[in-house]
Chain A
């Protein structure tokens, strides 16, 4: 009865003025499905990492363009640094170099001694990494994760999994490598965990990042555990990613509650996780295969000290106390130079002091 002219129009025929191709809703459905599939594929499989690589390489010129103003600002700043400032810096650096050199001389002796002792005990040579210097391009663009981007990528033989340190301690781990850049997940990220050791009593544990709070958590340790506020945590080196003895964090807070059998141990990273410009990317060489059964096989006198990168020395020297966990007890073994390296470890009876019987076993189980 009340049929108007608008009802006689076929609903399929919209006026040409409004034609926009497919309807927005069908477009939305299509692209939603597409992105859901992409998310699933990206999360579960490895197919899209190549796509990511291509895009990142294609975006590189734009990235350079975008960071250009920042670069200019820094250059101008450098240009106008006062003469006085430079003289002060130079003086400070010279003094630091003097102190470092003195410490380095001691390190060489201790290193040689350590290598010799380890050979005598048929232990593994300490793994000493090579390093690449990297520069922080930007803090992550994603506020949900603690990631920084470095200006070193697969072009510079960076591979995922390498450890990243600064002059004070561990910063994080390389998690994604592009052609010219790479992403470092910081140790404070929720997804990263790091095997550590309390420097004071060699207690091993695993520290987990706590995300946005920029702290580390050491869970699953009983309330009776021997940890104090101020204890220094260093890497234990048992994972083969981080070399042993790098400073990680300092314990800042220990909470014990009645209803939990575990202590809540919170520590603060030592490295300037959020404020540094230059970092070192460590390349850990393949560790020699540990084979305790072949005791009589002569142990290779592996001493990686020759390949020691100057910059790594600086990192290690601050922590060299932790590199050699049992320095004093083995000295009597040195008195018998005729003893074959393999035999010394195989026959504990050859060792003069009874407390030494425990010492050869120590390096075998990490």
Chain B
């Protein structure tokens, strides 16, 4: 984990927001990853000195505004996910690659589950199985984040 500049963090957040605002078409909406979520969770785990729960919450608020959903919904789930991520943040170096993937899948799954719960409370209907597809695309985006900004786990040979 090499230290990053604050400006890098802000720049990735902006890029994530632009991708979030991209006009996705029919199938795109189904498989589109949660750009801001992946980017923010990555920074929470990689650089907690830049990105705290407040920033993640703010990113969630931006998602709320861009989707036009109830203000605070995504913000709440983003904050909870970031907190769950932070619990194990200092132990991540002990994880191997696959444990980290599992952990990240768990985090993304929790976020989608919480959103689903909130929507169901608001009178929404249960979506079909394709609702869980973005977790896969989230993981692909996560892999890109690792390639661009560095591994979270400790390299094997030290």
Contacts and interface: CB of A to CB of B under 8 A. Distances in A.
A31 B119 contact: no
Nearest to A136: B23
Contacts of A284: none
In the complex, which of the residues A39, A147, A212 has the most CB atoms of chain B within 10 Å of its own CB atom? A39
Contacts of A70: 22-23
A274 to B, nearest CB: 7
Interface in A294-323: none
B136 interface: no
Interface string A164-206: 0000000000001000000100000010000000000000000
Contacts of A65: 18
Interface residues of B, number: 46
A257 interface: no
Contact of B17 (A37, A62, A139, A145): A62
B24 A38 contact: no
A354 interface: no
B70 A27 contact: no
In the complex, which of the residues A36, A67, A138 has the most CB atoms of chain B within 10 Å of its own CB atom? A138
B79 A32 contact: yes
A35 B79 contact: yes
Q: How large is the interface on A (under 10, 10 to 19, 20 to 34, 35 or more residues)?
A: 35 or more
A176 B70 CA distance: 13
Nearest to A22: B52
B21 A35 contact: no
Interface string A18-46: 00110011011001101111110111000
Interface in A50-101: 51-52, 55-56, 59, 62-63, 65-67, 69-70
Given A20-B48, A28-B80, A143-B127, A39 B71 contact: yes
B39 interface: no
B44 to A, nearest CB: 9
Secondary structure call for the B interface: helix
B49 A48 contact: no
A50 B123 CA distance: 25
B4 to A, nearest CB: 16
B147 interface: no
B96 interface: no
Given A20-B49, A59-B21, A65-B18, A142 B69 contact: yes
A211 interface: yes
Interface string B33-66: 0000000000000001100111001001100011
Interface of A: 20-21, 24-25, 27-28, 31-32, 34-39, 41-43, 48, 51-52, 55-56, 59, 62-63, 65-67, 69-70, 137-145, 147, 176, 183, 190, 211-212, 274
15 contacts: A24-B52, A28-B83, A35-B57, A35-B72, A39-B73, A39-B76, A59-B21, A59-B65, A137-B23, A138-B23, A144-B69, A144-B119, A190-B125, A211-B125, A212-B125
Given A31-B57, A141-B24, 5 more contacts: A27-B53, A28-B83, A55-B65, A144-B124, A212-B127
